[in-house]
Amino acid sequence: MSVRLLSLASGSSGKCYYVSKSEYGILIDAGIGSRTIKKRLKEHGIDMSRILAVLVTHDHYDHVKSVAVLGEVYHLPIYSTEKVHWGIFYNKKVTEKLSPANKRVIENSVPFEIKEMKITSFHLPHDANDNSGYVIEVEGKTLTIATDLGKATSDLKTYIANSDYLILESNYDADMLAKGSYPEVLKRRILGTNGHLSNTDAAQLLAECATDRLKQVCLCHLSKENNKPNLAEEAVLSQLKTKTKVVALPRNQVYCLDLV
Ligand SMILES: [Zn+2]
Ligand SMILES: [Zn+2]
Protein backbone atom coordinates (compact mmCIF):
# COMPACT_ATOMS: atom_id res chain seq x y z
CA MET A 1 0.00 0.00 0.00
CA SER A 2 1.43 3.35 -0.92
CA VAL A 3 -0.37 5.76 1.40
CA ARG A 4 -0.63 4.82 5.04
CA LEU A 5 -1.62 6.33 8.38
CA LEU A 6 0.07 5.13 11.55
CA SER A 7 -1.38 6.45 14.79
CA LEU A 8 1.66 6.11 17.06
CA ALA A 9 -0.15 7.41 20.16
CA SER A 10 -3.53 9.01 20.80
CA GLY A 11 -3.92 8.96 24.59
CA SER A 12 -4.03 11.86 27.03
CA SER A 13 -0.30 11.46 27.67
CA GLY A 14 0.63 12.21 24.07
CA LYS A 15 -0.50 12.31 20.45
CA CYS A 16 1.55 11.49 17.37
CA TYR A 17 0.48 10.45 13.86
CA TYR A 18 2.59 9.43 10.87
CA VAL A 19 1.29 9.72 7.30
CA SER A 20 3.44 8.14 4.61
CA LYS A 21 3.55 7.90 0.86
CA SER A 22 5.82 5.07 -0.29
CA GLU A 23 9.28 5.82 1.08
CA TYR A 24 8.67 9.07 2.95
CA GLY A 25 6.27 10.49 5.48
CA ILE A 26 5.40 13.31 7.83
CA LEU A 27 4.50 13.43 11.50
CA ILE A 28 1.52 15.31 12.81
CA ASP A 29 2.25 16.34 16.42
CA ALA A 30 4.97 14.81 18.57
CA GLY A 31 3.50 14.56 22.04
CA ILE A 32 5.46 11.43 22.96
CA GLY A 33 9.22 11.02 23.43
CA SER A 34 11.43 10.78 20.34
CA ARG A 35 12.72 7.36 21.47
CA THR A 36 9.16 6.04 21.54
CA ILE A 37 8.50 7.49 18.07
CA LYS A 38 11.68 5.83 16.78
CA LYS A 39 10.83 2.49 18.40
CA ARG A 40 7.21 2.39 17.19
CA LEU A 41 8.16 3.35 13.64
CA LYS A 42 10.96 0.79 13.62
CA GLU A 43 8.50 -1.93 14.66
CA HIS A 44 6.74 -1.14 11.38
CA GLY A 45 9.95 -1.17 9.36
CA ILE A 46 10.23 2.61 9.17
CA ASP A 47 13.50 4.42 9.83
CA MET A 48 13.50 7.95 11.27
CA SER A 49 15.34 9.11 8.14
CA ARG A 50 12.11 8.66 6.17
CA ILE A 51 10.42 11.51 8.08
CA LEU A 52 10.55 14.73 6.08
CA ALA A 53 8.70 17.13 8.40
CA VAL A 54 6.59 17.57 11.52
CA LEU A 55 3.27 19.45 11.42
CA VAL A 56 2.15 20.81 14.78
CA THR A 57 -1.48 21.49 15.68
CA HIS A 58 -0.94 23.53 18.87
CA ASP A 59 1.43 24.19 21.73
CA HIS A 60 -0.02 22.00 24.51
CA TYR A 61 2.57 19.60 25.91
CA ASP A 62 0.67 16.44 24.94
CA HIS A 63 1.24 17.51 21.30
CA VAL A 64 4.74 19.00 21.39
CA LYS A 65 6.81 17.05 23.92
CA SER A 66 9.56 16.07 21.45
CA VAL A 67 9.04 18.64 18.69
CA ALA A 68 12.25 20.53 19.45
CA VAL A 69 14.27 17.30 19.77
CA LEU A 70 13.01 16.22 16.34
CA GLY A 71 14.07 19.61 15.00
CA GLU A 72 17.47 19.84 16.65
CA VAL A 73 18.61 16.21 16.83
CA TYR A 74 16.95 14.82 13.71
CA HIS A 75 17.13 18.13 11.76
CA LEU A 76 13.49 17.99 10.78
CA PRO A 77 11.63 21.13 9.72
CA ILE A 78 8.82 21.92 12.17
CA TYR A 79 5.70 23.45 10.60
CA SER A 80 3.17 25.49 12.56
CA THR A 81 1.66 28.97 12.72
CA GLU A 82 3.80 31.73 14.21
CA LYS A 83 1.60 31.81 17.35
CA VAL A 84 2.08 28.06 17.93
CA HIS A 85 5.87 28.39 17.45
CA TRP A 86 5.82 31.18 20.01
CA GLY A 87 3.78 29.02 22.40
CA ILE A 88 6.16 26.07 22.04
CA PHE A 89 9.18 28.30 22.63
CA TYR A 90 7.72 29.68 25.87
CA ASN A 91 6.26 26.35 27.05
CA LYS A 92 8.26 25.72 30.24
CA LYS A 93 7.81 21.95 29.99
CA VAL A 94 9.60 21.89 26.64
CA THR A 95 13.23 22.18 27.76
CA GLU A 96 14.91 21.72 24.36
CA LYS A 97 14.40 24.82 22.18
CA LEU A 98 13.95 24.91 18.43
CA SER A 99 16.44 26.97 16.45
CA PRO A 100 15.16 29.32 13.70
CA ALA A 101 16.80 27.13 11.04
CA ASN A 102 14.34 24.30 11.74
CA LYS A 103 11.27 26.49 12.08
CA ARG A 104 8.75 26.73 9.22
CA VAL A 105 5.93 29.23 9.65
CA ILE A 106 2.63 28.45 7.96
CA GLU A 107 -0.56 30.44 7.60
CA ASN A 108 -3.97 28.87 7.89
CA SER A 109 -5.81 28.37 4.58
CA VAL A 110 -2.60 28.80 2.56
CA PRO A 111 -1.77 25.39 1.01
CA PHE A 112 1.82 24.15 0.84
CA GLU A 113 3.48 20.99 -0.44
CA ILE A 114 5.83 18.40 0.99
CA LYS A 115 6.80 16.26 -2.00
CA GLU A 116 3.52 14.85 -3.35
CA MET A 117 1.49 15.78 -0.27
CA LYS A 118 -0.61 18.93 -0.53
CA ILE A 119 -1.32 20.31 2.93
CA THR A 120 -3.76 22.98 4.09
CA SER A 121 -4.12 24.07 7.70
CA PHE A 122 -7.22 25.68 9.16
CA HIS A 123 -8.05 27.28 12.50
CA LEU A 124 -9.77 25.35 15.30
CA PRO A 125 -11.02 26.96 18.54
CA HIS A 126 -9.07 25.75 21.60
CA ASP A 127 -7.43 27.32 24.66
CA ALA A 128 -3.88 27.22 23.27
CA ASN A 129 -1.96 30.12 21.67
CA ASP A 130 -3.41 28.95 18.37
CA ASN A 131 -4.64 25.61 17.02
CA SER A 132 -4.75 24.21 13.50
CA GLY A 133 -6.43 21.29 11.85
CA TYR A 134 -4.78 19.83 8.75
CA VAL A 135 -6.05 18.57 5.41
CA ILE A 136 -3.58 16.27 3.62
CA GLU A 137 -4.24 15.45 -0.04
CA VAL A 138 -2.17 12.65 -1.54
CA GLU A 139 -2.73 10.11 -4.34
CA GLY A 140 -6.28 11.44 -4.85
CA LYS A 141 -7.25 10.80 -1.21
CA THR A 142 -8.03 13.45 1.39
CA LEU A 143 -7.29 12.97 5.09
CA THR A 144 -8.47 15.61 7.55
CA ILE A 145 -7.13 15.86 11.10
CA ALA A 146 -9.11 17.83 13.71
CA THR A 147 -8.04 17.48 17.32
CA ASP A 148 -8.54 19.63 20.42
CA LEU A 149 -11.52 21.80 19.54
CA GLY A 150 -14.27 23.25 21.69
CA LYS A 151 -16.67 23.46 18.79
CA ALA A 152 -16.80 22.74 15.08
CA THR A 153 -16.27 25.56 12.58
CA SER A 154 -17.86 25.98 9.15
CA ASP A 155 -14.42 25.37 7.59
CA LEU A 156 -14.14 22.04 9.39
CA LYS A 157 -17.65 21.01 8.26
CA THR A 158 -16.69 21.72 4.65
CA TYR A 159 -13.44 19.76 4.97
CA ILE A 160 -15.23 16.77 6.53
CA ALA A 161 -17.77 16.75 3.69
CA ASN A 162 -14.85 16.46 1.24
CA SER A 163 -12.72 13.91 3.08
CA ASP A 164 -12.07 10.22 2.45
CA TYR A 165 -10.58 9.73 5.91
CA LEU A 166 -10.87 11.72 9.13
CA ILE A 167 -9.14 11.83 12.49
CA LEU A 168 -11.58 13.58 14.83
CA GLU A 169 -11.47 14.31 18.54
CA SER A 170 -14.03 12.53 20.71
CA ASN A 171 -12.68 13.49 24.09
CA TYR A 172 -15.27 12.71 26.73
CA ASP A 173 -18.57 11.12 27.58
CA ALA A 174 -20.69 13.89 29.11
CA ASP A 175 -22.04 11.70 31.97
CA MET A 176 -18.60 10.37 32.89
CA LEU A 177 -17.19 13.90 32.95
CA ALA A 178 -20.09 15.23 35.05
CA LYS A 179 -19.84 12.39 37.61
CA GLY A 180 -16.05 12.12 37.50
CA SER A 181 -13.38 13.40 39.85
CA TYR A 182 -12.07 16.36 37.83
CA PRO A 183 -12.19 19.72 39.66
CA GLU A 184 -15.09 21.98 38.59
CA VAL A 185 -12.77 24.51 36.97
CA LEU A 186 -11.26 21.82 34.75
CA LYS A 187 -14.70 20.43 33.87
CA ARG A 188 -15.79 23.91 32.79
CA ARG A 189 -12.62 24.28 30.70
CA ILE A 190 -13.26 20.98 28.90
CA LEU A 191 -16.93 21.81 28.29
CA GLY A 192 -16.23 25.33 27.00
CA THR A 193 -16.15 26.44 23.37
CA ASN A 194 -12.33 26.51 23.60
CA GLY A 195 -12.17 23.09 25.25
CA HIS A 196 -12.76 19.65 23.77
CA LEU A 197 -15.39 17.80 21.72
CA SER A 198 -17.57 15.25 23.52
CA ASN A 199 -18.70 11.96 22.01
CA THR A 200 -22.11 13.56 21.37
CA ASP A 201 -20.49 16.61 19.73
CA ALA A 202 -18.45 14.37 17.42
CA ALA A 203 -21.53 12.25 16.64
CA GLN A 204 -23.69 15.29 15.80
CA LEU A 205 -20.95 16.81 13.66
CA LEU A 206 -20.56 13.60 11.66
CA ALA A 207 -24.31 13.11 11.32
CA GLU A 208 -24.45 16.59 9.81
CA CYS A 209 -21.37 16.55 7.57
CA ALA A 210 -20.22 13.03 6.70
CA THR A 211 -20.86 11.97 3.11
CA ASP A 212 -20.62 8.56 1.48
CA ARG A 213 -17.13 9.55 0.39
CA LEU A 214 -15.97 9.26 4.02
CA LYS A 215 -14.58 5.71 4.32
CA GLN A 216 -13.34 5.80 7.89
CA VAL A 217 -13.33 8.02 10.96
CA CYS A 218 -10.62 7.53 13.57
CA LEU A 219 -11.76 8.97 16.89
CA CYS A 220 -8.82 10.44 18.78
CA HIS A 221 -7.85 12.09 22.07
CA LEU A 222 -10.18 9.91 24.19
CA SER A 223 -9.90 10.87 27.84
CA LYS A 224 -8.66 8.08 30.10
CA GLU A 225 -10.81 9.28 33.01
CA ASN A 226 -13.92 10.39 31.16
CA ASN A 227 -14.37 8.12 28.17
CA LYS A 228 -14.32 4.56 26.88
CA PRO A 229 -13.62 3.47 23.29
CA ASN A 230 -16.96 1.64 22.96
CA LEU A 231 -18.91 4.66 24.23
CA ALA A 232 -17.25 6.95 21.67
CA GLU A 233 -17.76 4.50 18.80
CA GLU A 234 -21.38 3.75 19.74
CA ALA A 235 -22.26 7.44 20.09
CA VAL A 236 -21.02 8.15 16.56
CA LEU A 237 -22.46 4.98 15.00
CA SER A 238 -25.89 5.63 16.53
CA GLN A 239 -26.22 8.91 14.58
CA LEU A 240 -24.19 8.30 11.45
CA LYS A 241 -26.22 8.19 8.23
CA THR A 242 -23.39 6.85 6.05
CA LYS A 243 -21.58 3.49 5.91
CA THR A 244 -18.39 5.07 7.27
CA LYS A 245 -16.26 2.77 9.43
CA VAL A 246 -15.70 4.13 12.95
CA VAL A 247 -12.68 3.24 15.10
CA ALA A 248 -11.54 4.72 18.41
CA LEU A 249 -7.75 4.98 18.17
CA PRO A 250 -5.83 3.07 20.86
CA ARG A 251 -4.31 5.32 23.50
CA ASN A 252 -0.84 3.94 23.61
CA GLN A 253 -0.23 1.51 20.81
CA VAL A 254 0.13 1.74 17.07
CA TYR A 255 -2.92 1.66 14.80
CA CYS A 256 -2.30 1.21 11.10
CA LEU A 257 -4.62 2.18 8.24
CA ASP A 258 -3.92 1.95 4.50
CA LEU A 259 -5.53 4.86 2.67
CA VAL A 260 -4.58 3.84 -0.87
ZN1 LIG B 1 -4.85 20.97 23.65
ZN1 LIG C 1 -4.52 17.64 23.48
User: pLDDT for 223-245, tens place per residue?
Assistant: 999 999 999 999 999 999 999 99
Task: Read off the amino acid at residue 86.
Answer: W
CA of 225 to the centre of ligand 2 (A): 14
Query: What is the distance between the alpha carbons of residues 210 and 30, in angstroms, rounded to a whole number?
Result: 28
CA of 140 to the centre of ligand 1 (A): 30
**Which has the closest alpha carbon to 163: 121, 195, 135?**
135
pLDDT for res 108 = 97
pLDDT tens string 105-140? 999 999 999 999 999 999 999 999 999 999 999 999
pLDDT for res 13 = 82
Query: What is the distance between the alpha carbons of residues 192 and 175, in angstroms, rounded to a whole number?
Result: 16
Judge contact between 50 and 25, C-beta under 8 A: yes
CA of 23 to the centre of ligand 1 (A): 31
CA of 81 to the centre of ligand 2 (A): 17
CA of 169 to the centre of ligand 2 (A): 9
pLDDT tens string 21-80? 999 999 999 999 999 999 999 999 999 999 999 999 999 999 999 999 999 999 999 999
CA of 139 to the centre of ligand 2 (A): 29
Neighbours of ion ligand 1 (CB under 5 A): 60, 148
Residue 11 has pLDDT above 90, yes or no: no
Judge contact between 99 and 83, C-beta under 8 A: no
Q: Could you give the 3-state DSSP secondary structure of residue 217?
A: strand
Beta bridge mates, 21: 3, 24
CA of 16 to the centre of ligand 1 (A): 13
pLDDT tens string 171-180? 999 999 999 9
Ligand nearest to the CA of 223: 2
CATH assignment of 3-258?
3.60.15.10
pTM for this predicted structure: 0.97
CA of 23 to the centre of ligand 2 (A): 29
CA of 183 to the centre of ligand 1 (A): 18
Beta bridge mates, 5: 19, 257
Q: What is the mean pLDDT of residues 4-22?
A: 95
Ligand nearest to the CA of 84: 1
CA of 110 to the centre of ligand 2 (A): 24
Q: What is the mean pLDDT of the chain?
A: 97
Strand blocks (E) in 43-188:
51-55, 78-80, 103-105, 112-114, 117-123, 132-138, 141-146, 165-169
pLDDT for res 66 = 97
Domain edges within the chain:
3-258
Q: How do beta strands 24-28 and 165-169 pair? A: unpaired
Query: What is the distance between the alpha carbons of residues 78 and 151, in angstroms, rounded to a whole number?
Result: 26
pLDDT for res 74 = 98
CA of 171 to the centre of ligand 2 (A): 9
Ligand nearest to the CA of 58: 1
CA of 64 to the centre of ligand 1 (A): 10
Residue 1 has pLDDT above 80, yes or no: no
**Which has the closest alpha carbon to 145: 127, 126, 120?**
120
In angstroms, how far is the first alpha carbon of the chain from the final one?
6
